[in-house]
Amino acid sequence: MLSGLCVYVCADVVYVGVIHPYHLITCLLFTNAKKNVLCEKPLAMNNKEVKEILASAKRNDVFLMEAVWTRFFPASVEIRRLLAQGEVGEVKMVRSEFGVQLMHVPRSTQKELGGGAILDIGIYCLQFICMVYNGEKPECIQATGTCLETGVDETVVVTVKFSKNRMAVFTCSSCVQLPNDAIIAGTKGTIRIPAHMWCPTSLVVNGKETQYPVPEPYLPLNFLNSTGMRYEAEEVRQCLLKGLKESAVVSHADSLLLAELEDEIRRQVGVVYSQDCQ
């Protein structure tokens, strides 16, 4: 435990689940101790911190992965397969939404706790877009939003332009409930996540819906579909068995891109953390 928060250690890998501002110091603590690390998203508060964590992992020759659990759900695996096979043709537009009422949660509203919609839930929308466009760096990103009196973002709308006139847009909010769906629109059809885009259990492909259920829990869970965390855990296990230092599904390059885009979105919206000034 660190500062009364969540760190799980086993013989092979450390799972870091402390609040965002403590990710840097906790990851460095374990990577410098030659421990493999699975760290909750966002990997760090900004791109500078992400680079520091990745450099430590490389220097100490250990495995490190940002725990973007969504990418390992069977529905997400199927999305990547469909895109690779050209099921919907050339993707021209991606849209995603994630909004829940979090105003009663201090870590979502307080700057010193790493609050803000982008780092907490907007990252799910952003990683989805980056996954669909295969980790390509956008040509342009435009963001607008509203901030709380505490100085963190409350609701943000982001438009992203990629090469070949391909677009994406997402909305995230910590004050209102949104449909929390996502859609990929291509020249030959669409792939839609009808609900819970951050932990998907169904897909609608060209009008046909297929279920991808996660295992039933043995005990009550705090969060929806939390048994789905086993998929990212299995990815880490497989990587360690193969002697890999990063995952191809959430690579170090993926984490760097997410952090860079998050930094730019926050800059445009006007959110500055103390970590940005160090």
**Structural domains of the chain in order of their starting residue, each with its CATH number:** 7-69+231-260+273-277 (3.40.50.720), 71-225 (3.30.360.10)
DSSP 2: B
Nearest to 79 by CA among 189, 177, 169: 189
In whole angstroms, give the CA distance from residue 183 to residue 161: 16
Element containing residue 261 per DSSP (H, E): helix 252-269
Please list, in sequence order, all residues whose beta carbon lies within 8 angstroms of the beta carbon of residue 39, skipping any fewer than 6 positions away. Answer: 15, 16, 23, 26, 27, 53, 64, 65, 66, 67
In whole angstroms, give the CA distance from residue 234 to residue 142: 36
Q: Would you state the pLDDT for residue 122?
A: 98
In whole angstroms, give the CA distance from residue 255 to residue 64: 11
Structure tokens belonging to residue 156: 């943000």
Q: Is 94 exposed, middle or buried (0-12, 13-18, 19+ CB in 10 A)?
A: buried
Query: Beta strand pairing status for 182-186 and 208-211?
Result: unpaired
E-assigned strand segments in 100-256: 140-147, 153-162, 166-173, 182-186, 189-193, 202-205, 208-211
Q: How far is CA 248 from CA 14, 65, 100, in A?
A: 19, 10, 30
Q: Would you state the pLDDT for residue 2?
A: 41
Q: Would you state the pLDDT for residue 7?
A: 64
Q: What angle do CA 76, 81, 84 make, to 5 degrees?
A: 125
E-assigned strand segments in the chain: 7-9, 13-16, 36-40, 64-67, 91-99, 140-147, 153-162, 166-173, 182-186, 189-193, 202-205, 208-211
- Give counts: helices (H), strands (E), the chain: 8, 12
User: Cβ distance 213 to 198 under 8 Å?
Assistant: no
The mean pLDDT values, 10 residues at a time, for the chain of 278 residues are 50 92 98 97 98 98 98 98 98 98 96 98 98 98 98 98 98 98 98 98 98 95 95 97 98 98 98 95
Measure CA of the first residue to CA of the last residue in the chain; give whole Å: 26
